[in-house]
Structure 1
Amino acid sequence: MSAAGSPPPRTGAFSRRTLLVAAMVGTASTAVACTGGSGGDPADAVTPQQADQLAAQLTVQQALVDAYDQAFAADPGLATAAATLAEQARTQLDRLQAAAPGATGSPAPTTGGGPGPADARAWLRTQVVAAADAHAAAAATFSGGRAALLGSIAAGLRGQEGLLA
């Protein structure tokens, strides 16, 4: 304890901002490894079925980006508090698009008018969990860089889930 009776400051602890930056850097590095340079890695070959699965994951991620927009429209205070998370979801969408040769995600069907102001955070958290689950399940069907990318996105979304709690 310090002289004033308060515990000494913690060293080595991660702030939320540090966690988000690390998750974004990890996602970016994985995407570069997934889409860049060598191009000849057989583990990164995509079958037609996997191309369809990547297109489905694009749809999942686009739905999440849209969910952020809906939640922010319902609760402007949430928009201020979670703007970084929405930007991360958009960056993840860009990375998925780069990793999905020729695939385009379909616009997600709109389900009702979205959340109300009182439940926008909880509703958004549910959307984040669903997207993380979908990406994690899809990662198991890939190998190489695309598996790493989907796994990284799923992990990043698990971090968002915790921040939205």
Structure 2
Amino acid sequence: MKADTPVKGVANLRLRDMKSQGKTYETLMLGERIEESKTVERRDVFSYLGSADDLNPLFSQSAYAERTEFEQVVVPPSLLVNWFSALVSMKLPGPGSLVQSMQFDFPAPLFIQEEVVLMLEISDKLDHDKKVKLVAKGMSGDKIVAEGELVVCPPRPLKPLFKDAFENF
């Protein structure tokens, strides 16, 4: 497969865009941060709701949502959590990372077609178990739509590909 061949089932992702491994604990620095902007599309919400098996009408039915205090369909807060998790997995620390714990608050609702800026910043390095704490914040204009903290195990160095290849010979 060529490096610029699209990966089946993954929108707009090409093999050349994939890093084999993210940053290890030793290479991560306090204050290191990543920021990504997204405009929430209806398809993002419905794709998420389908995979989560979530049938809450507040997230999918305009006729229902218009009769609530929000007056329109609300983006599921757990979709934002998924996007933060993806940022950890793909950007900071990156591939090979594993989220160990997370805690989030959602002070204001996010609506379809709103732009959200997702930010992650390394706030602490836990030397005793080689994990990092990241502060997460989601902003839509001036409103905070998500804030929280994640504890992440960054990738460990990969074992050599052929380390034990000839053990049986």
**What's the TM-score once normalised by structure 1's chain length?**
0.27
More helix, by proportion: 1
Larger radius of gyration between Structure 1 and Structure 2: 2
More strand, by proportion: 2
